[in-house]
């Protein structure tokens, strides 16, 4: 999984956890509307933003992600009524903790994206990729075994 193509420009690897009911559909709409967003955004579909275990976010960084973004239904719109409210509290605390440990805070983000917001999805990803490109490779939360070794 080469993130930094040898000799080439830095292409940040971004993992986007998207809720099945709205944000994933939003990503779909962005695609079918032929809106551009970086190819290195890897979308992982989850049943609800509430399904995103903090461990998932850390594991994404372990495996070489340079930024992790979580997208869910707008507050009040959750398919399961309240999942995203819980997710909101968890991510706020987790991101604050990562900041506390000295991990650059721009590397994590939460956006609420509805099924109708294909343009918002594409814009968000473009902006986020820009932020991450400016930050460079994630060195502080990487697992050297996954990133550097040939094995």
Partner 1 sequence: MRRIRDMMRSRAGELLREGTVNRVLGWKNGEFYYDPNPAVFETEESLDGLVYNGFSAAMLSKYLIDATKKEGRILVFLKPCDTYSFNHLLREHKVNRENTYVIGVGCDGMLDIEKLRTLGVKGIKSLDENGDDLVAHTLYGDKTLARRDILLEKCLSCKGSEHKVYDELAVVDDPWQWDTLDRFAKVGELEGMTPDERFAFWRGELSRCIRCNACRNACPVCSCLKCVFDNPRSGVQAKSNADSFEENMFHIIRAFHVAGRCTDCGECSRVCPQNIPLHLLNRKFIKDINAFYGEYQAGADVEGKSPLTEYKTGDVEPSVVYERGGA
Partner 2 sequence: MMLKLSKDKIGELFQKLASSRTLYLPIDNNGQVNFGQWTPDAVVRLDQLKTVKSAKDFFFPQTENIVAFKRQGKDISIIENRDQNEPFVVFGVRGCDARSLDILDKVFLCDPVDSFYKARRENGVIVSMACAEPEETCFCGVFGIDAAEPQGDVTIRIIGDNLYWDGKTEKGKALGESVKDLLVQATGQDLEIIKKQDERSREILSMLPLGDLSLDGFEESALLEKFNSPLWKELSQACVGCGTCTYVCPTCQCYDIQDFDTGHGIQRFRCWDSCMYSDFTLMAHGNSRKSQMERFRQRFMHKLIYYPANNDGVYSCVGCGRCVAKCPISMNIAKVIRALGVSVSV
- Contact set with partner 2 (CB under 8 A): 1, 63-64, 143, 145-146, 149-151
Closest by CA position to 13, among listed 151, 129, 119: 129
Rule CB under 8 A: is residue 150 a binding residue for partner 1? no
Which residues lie closer than 8 Å to 54 by C-beta, 6 or more apart? 90, 94
Rule CB under 8 A: is residue 142 a binding residue for partner 1? yes
**How far apart are alpha carbons 35 and 122 in whole angstroms?**
6
Q: Which of 103, 119, 123, 137 binds partner 1 (CB under 8 A)?
A: 103
Rule CB under 8 A: is residue 117 a binding residue for partner 1? no
Which residues lie closer than 8 Å to 46 by C-beta, 6 or more apart? 17, 18, 19, 20, 52
Q: Which of 30, 98, 129, 132 binds partner 1 (CB under 8 A)?
A: 98
Q: Which residues here bind partner 1, judged by CB under 8 A?
A: 54-55, 58-59, 61-62, 75-76, 82, 85-86, 88-106, 108-110, 140-145
């Amino acid at each position: 999984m080469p993130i930094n193509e040898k000799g080439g420009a830095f292409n940040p690897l971004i993992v986007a956890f998207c809720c099945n009911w709205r944000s994933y559909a939003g990503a779909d709409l962005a695609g079918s509307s032929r809106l551009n967003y970086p190819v290195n955004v890897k979308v992982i579909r989850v049943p609800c933003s509430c399904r995103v275990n903090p461990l998932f976010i850390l594991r994404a960084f372990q495996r070489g992600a340079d930024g992790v973004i979580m997208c869910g239904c707008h507050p009040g719109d959750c398919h399961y009524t309240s999942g995203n409210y819980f997710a909101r509290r968890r991510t706020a605390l987790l991101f604050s903790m990562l900041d506390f440990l000295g991990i650059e805070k721009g590397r994590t983000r939460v956006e609420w994206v509805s099924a109708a917001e294909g343009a918002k999805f594409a814009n968000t990803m473009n902006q986020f990729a820009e932020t991450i490109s400016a930050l460079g490779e994630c060195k502080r939360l990487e697992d050297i075994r996954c990133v550097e070794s040939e094995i």
